[in-house]
């Protein structure tokens, strides 16, 4: 039986620790379903949301937008979306889309003007129970034995995972191509695994040895390079040296630093693809002359409001 009250972690003041409190268990209305949270993972965006820079967050707020959960109750309009009691589900962080506007029908529900965001202006998953929009929920089959994947492994897929997968799809990676991932922590680590599975030759670039060694030990990269203290021209030379004289066909930047984008431009081949995932906190100066003369294409990923 679902209780009336639950524990939740709330952000009450930017830059201050979360507060654990007893709050009412929400009631599912419309197409929402009530879920019991199995596991909720911490995204880098959560740190931004709760910082003094997270100005769009409605406080107090239960944060968290990555989770795997079990369905406990259905709203009156949830059934047509195929969700059943007891299902294990995950979902991206957007809620309450109208599903009728041009953006919903042609681009994606995350661009709907009526959409709300888990952990920002809609209660998130750092709680015992939460609401999930059935229109975005994905049922995750239960796989027992050695082939099973834990909820903790699955949870980040519903933010970081779908973001870098979209970047890789838009980059149109072909087997044998060289893909450089600039920033291999968090999103970047997942991107290396996806790119490796697509048959690419994967280069991992970062300024932290620990993160580089992690992806190297995990077997998802072919070569690693610490770019700390290196100039762009030196980075290009080192990438070519480790890649049989060639630079990258595509670069996915998951870091939010300006230096990461400068690195990316420096290691792209003519007619290469630059994938924008990480969001710098400051304006980025891009050498458009180089972009034009070398026919570099710049693509975005449908990021989940990071």
pLDDT digits (tens, 9 = 90+) for 267-285: 999 999 999 999 887 788 8
Question: For residue 69, is it left (φ>0), alpha (ψ between -120 and 50) or beta?
Answer: beta
Mean pLDDT of the residues in the chain:
92
| Secondary structure (3-state) at 197 | helix
Same domain, 53 and 72: yes
Which pLDDT does position 304 carry in this prediction? 46
Same domain, 124 and 202: no
Same domain, 136 and 274: no
pLDDT digits (tens, 9 = 90+) for 220-250: 999 999 999 999 999 999 999 999 999 999 9
Contact 214, 239 (CB under 8 A): no
Number of Cβ within a 10 Å radius of residue 80: 9
Q: What are the residues whose beta carbons fall under 8 Å from the beta carbon of 272, sequence distance 6 or more?
A: 247, 248, 249, 250, 251, 294, 296, 297
Q: What is the pTM of this model?
A: 0.87
pLDDT over 90 at 286, yes or no: no
Distance, C-alpha 150 to centroid of its chain: 18
Contact 132, 33 (CB under 8 A): yes
Same domain, 183 and 294: yes
Q: What are the residues whose beta carbons fall under 8 Å from the beta carbon of 16, sequence distance 6 or more?
A: none
Q: What are the residues whose beta carbons fall under 8 Å from the beta carbon of 52, sequence distance 6 or more?
A: 14, 15
User: The domain that contains 237 carries what CATH number?
Assistant: 3.40.50.720
pLDDT over 80 at 213, yes or no: yes
Mean pLDDT along residues 249-261: 94
What distance in Å separates the CA atoms of residue 273 and residue 173, rounded to the nearest whole number?
A: 10
Same domain, 152 and 37: yes
Which pLDDT does position 224 carry in this prediction? 97
Which pLDDT does position 1 carry in this prediction? 85
Which pLDDT does position 305 carry in this prediction? 40
Domain that holds residue 229: 160-300
Mean pLDDT along residues 56-68: 90
CA distances from 271 to 44, 98, 247, 249, 295 (A): 32, 39, 12, 8, 5
| Least confident interval from 47-56, 75-84, 171-180, 194-203 | 47-56
Which pLDDT does position 127 carry in this prediction? 98
Residue 5, both tokens:
């009250």
Mean pLDDT along residues 40-68: 85
Contact 164, 305 (CB under 8 A): no
pLDDT over 80 at 69, yes or no: yes
Contact 6, 123 (CB under 8 A): no
Which pLDDT does position 267 carry in this prediction? 97
Q: Which of 107, 125, 156 is the last residue of a domain?
A: 156
């Amino acid at each position: 039986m679902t209780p009336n009250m639950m524990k939740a972690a709330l952000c009450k003041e930017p830059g201050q620790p979360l507060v654990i409190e007893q709050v009412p268990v929400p009631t599912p209305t419309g197409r929402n379903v009530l879920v019991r949270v199995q596991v909720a993972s911490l995204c880098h965006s959560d740190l931004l949301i709760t910082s003094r820079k997270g100005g769009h967050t409605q406080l107090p707020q239960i944060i968290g937008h990555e989770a795997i959960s079990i369905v406990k109750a259905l709203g009156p309009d949830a059934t047509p979306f195929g969700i059943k009691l007891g299902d294990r589900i995950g979902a991206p962080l957007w809620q309450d889309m109208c599903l009728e506007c041009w953006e919903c029908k042609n681009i994606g529900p995350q661009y709907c003007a009526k959409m709300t965001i888990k952990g920002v202006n809609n209660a998130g998953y750092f709680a015992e129970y939460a609401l999930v929009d059935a229109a975005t929920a994905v049922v995750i089959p239960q796989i027992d034995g050695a082939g099973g994947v834990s909820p903790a492994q699955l949870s980040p897929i519903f933010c970081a995972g779908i973001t870098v997968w979209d970047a890789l799809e838009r980059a149109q990676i072909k087997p044998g191509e060289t893909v450089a991932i600039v920033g291999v922590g968090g999103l970047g680590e997942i991107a290396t695994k996806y790119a490796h599975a697509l048959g690419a030759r994967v280069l991992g670039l970062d300024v932290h040895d620990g993160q580089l060694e992690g992806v190297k030990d995990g077997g998802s990269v072919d070569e690693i390079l610490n770019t700390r203290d290196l100039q762009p021209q030196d980075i290009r030379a080192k990438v070519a040296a480790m890649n049989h004289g060639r630079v990258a066909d595509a670069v996915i930047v998951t870091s939010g630093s300006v230096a990461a984008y400068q690195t990316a431009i420096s290691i792209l081949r003519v007619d290469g693809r630059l994938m924008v995932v990480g969001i710098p906190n400051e304006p980025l100066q891009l050498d458009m002359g180089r972009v034009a003369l070398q026919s570099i294409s710049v693509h975005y990923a449908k990021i989940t409001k990071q």
